[in-house]
Structure 1
Amino acid sequence: MAKERTTMSHRTLLRPVRTAAALTLAAAAAFGLTACDNSVGGADAAGHASSASASSTSGGQANADGRASDDAKPGESATTGGSAGGSGTSGGGATVARGAARAAGSQDTSGDRCSADALRLELGQADTGAGNIRYPLSFTNTGRKSCTLRGYPGIALLAKDGSAIGHPADREGSAGSAVTLAPGGSAHTVLHTINEGLKDGGCWKDASLVQVYAPGSKTRMTARAAEGLRVCGNEFLVSALESGSGS
């Protein structure tokens, strides 16, 4: 009887031990599965985070699947052009320069003003003296009727490749009165700059072309500067139109 009690007691002790071991193994297995799941989820999250980061640096937005989407249209830029420096800029900078040159011209809305398609441009030879350099720019009426020009043309300088140079010419002197051009008749303005070294600011790049807007006109005209035209000291001025060719 005592032996039977000892055996039963031994079995009773073994059962809790085996049960605890089983519970321990089950918990370890569950932990391992959880760790696996977390590992996969972490890699996936890292992948999505990496994709979102790539999307952010590319300037786009992340789609639901994590791919980058760029809303910017090809060729668009955050900036419209360069500053009005000595060398100027092409592309957007030239577009800005054209707009500025047009705005610099006098606003003439009279019905008898000369239209660009009835005018011929010619840049004359430089006239130098006392540190100043002046270029006459003439407008000749090629039409069959008389027309008038009033005030200041809008003037800008361009390099050979069409890129803008510096800033449009500032106005110099009084506006004067309207000039009537008979067929074949001319009026002129004067482009004024100075010799190198007279003022701070250095010199701009040599210009090959002079871009012109007649007063009140939105049509761009161009005159060739055969010997180049260089502005120094940031001194670039244009006078009001006067009668005659100026040369």
Structure 2
Amino acid sequence: MSHRTLLRPVRTTAALALAAVAAFGLTACDNSDGGADAAGKSSSSQASDSSGGQASAADGQGADDAKSGASATTGGSTGGSGTTGGSSGGSTGGSGAAKARGTAAAAASQDNASDRCEADVLRLELGQSDAGAGNIRYPLSFTNTGKKSCTLRGYPGIALLAKDGASIGHPADREGGAGSSVTLAPGGSAHTVLHTINEGLKDGGCWKDASLVQVYAPGSKVKMTARAADGLRVCGNEFLVSALESGSGS
């Protein structure tokens, strides 16, 4: 009896030991698989988060760049408008030389005064040239042939023509301030000055000699002409006209 009783505990202890070892092995396997899965899931999640974060940042920067580009374009357009406005201001300013390109009719000052001198009562005459210090000036007078007083104000539109009527160069640019209104009594005159320079003072050479001066009085769309008996030649692309003043200018 004693012998049998002694063997049972030994067998029982061995069985328990084997069961414990087997349980430990299963637990280790489970932990290993679970850890790998967790690590895999964690790495995948991090990669996804990282990739998503970079995409979001790129998208955000792209949107910001687009906004910046739009702002730059808008600013450029505005700047362009500012530049255009500046040019217009320079062209119409009261001091210095003001540009008046286009046709001679468009180059004339606007004048809607009710007593403005109409073309049909004006007589034109181009005076003799006055040269000095490299400049050449020609007085161009407007005489009132009507029976009542009338007024002129600003710049006439001036262009040069060849003998056959072909245009030469560009219409005269404006020189100096616009001045004030000039009243022409019957028989009275007002004048403007056409200004150019001697050959060689500036690049550009000289235009062909003009035989006629095409004129539009301020506010008028009626073309008048004055004969340039001795010819009129512009050099250096310098062709200017002053605002009208009282008197014949000669």
Question: Could you say which TM-score interval applies, normalised by the shorter chain?
Answer: 0.5 to 0.7
What corresponds to 1:81 in structure 2?
none
The CA deviation string for residues 87-124 of structure 1, in whole angstroms up to 9 with x for no partner, is xxxxxxxxxxx971000000001110000000000000
- SS of 2:106's equivalent in the other structure is helix
2 CA distance for matches of 1:150 and 1:244?
A: 13
What corresponds to 1:233 in structure 2?
236
Cα distance change on mapping 1:99 and 1:235 into 2, 3 Å? closer
What corresponds to 1:101 in structure 2?
104
Cα offset, 1:137, TM superposition: 0.0
Structure 2 unaligned spans of 5+: 1-100
2 CA distance for matches of 1:176 and 1:156?
A: 21
1:158 to 158, 161, 183: 161
- CA-atom RMSD, angstroms? 1.1
2:120 to 117, 122, 134: 117
Cα distance change on mapping 1:173 and 1:99 into 2, 3 Å? closer
**Are 2:150 and 1:147 aligned?**
yes
- SS of 2:104's equivalent in the other structure is helix
What corresponds to 2:245 in structure 1?
242
1 CA distance for matches of 2:236 and 2:179?
A: 27
Structure 1 unaligned spans of 5+: 1-97
Identical positions, percent: 88
What corresponds to 2:223 in structure 1?
220
Superposed counterparts of 1:41-190, under 5 Å: 100-190=103-193
1 CA distance for matches of 2:207 and 2:102?
A: 20
What corresponds to 2:202 in structure 1?
199
Moved over 4 A (4+): none
Larger Rg: 2
Amino acid at match of 2:228: A
Amino acid at match of 1:231: V
1 CA distance for matches of 2:238 and 2:102?
A: 20
What corresponds to 2:11 in structure 1?
none
What corresponds to 1:83 in structure 2?
none
1 CA distance for matches of 2:185 and 2:112?
A: 19
The structure with more helix, counted as a fraction of residues:
2
- SS of 2:164's equivalent in the other structure is coil
What corresponds to 2:213 in structure 1?
210
The CA deviation string for residues 187-245 of structure 1, in whole angstroms up to 9 with x for no partner, is 00000000000000000000000000000000000000000000000000000000000
- SS of 2:103's equivalent in the other structure is helix
The CA deviation string for residues 40-70 of structure 1, in whole angstroms up to 9 with x for no partner, is xxxxxxxxxxxxxxxxxxxxxxxxxxxxxxx
Equivalent residues, number: 150
Checking the alignment, whether the CA contact within 8 Å between 2:102 and 2:171 is kept in structure 1 is no
What corresponds to 1:37 in structure 2?
none
1 CA distance for matches of 2:191 and 2:133?
A: 22
What corresponds to 2:97 in structure 1?
none
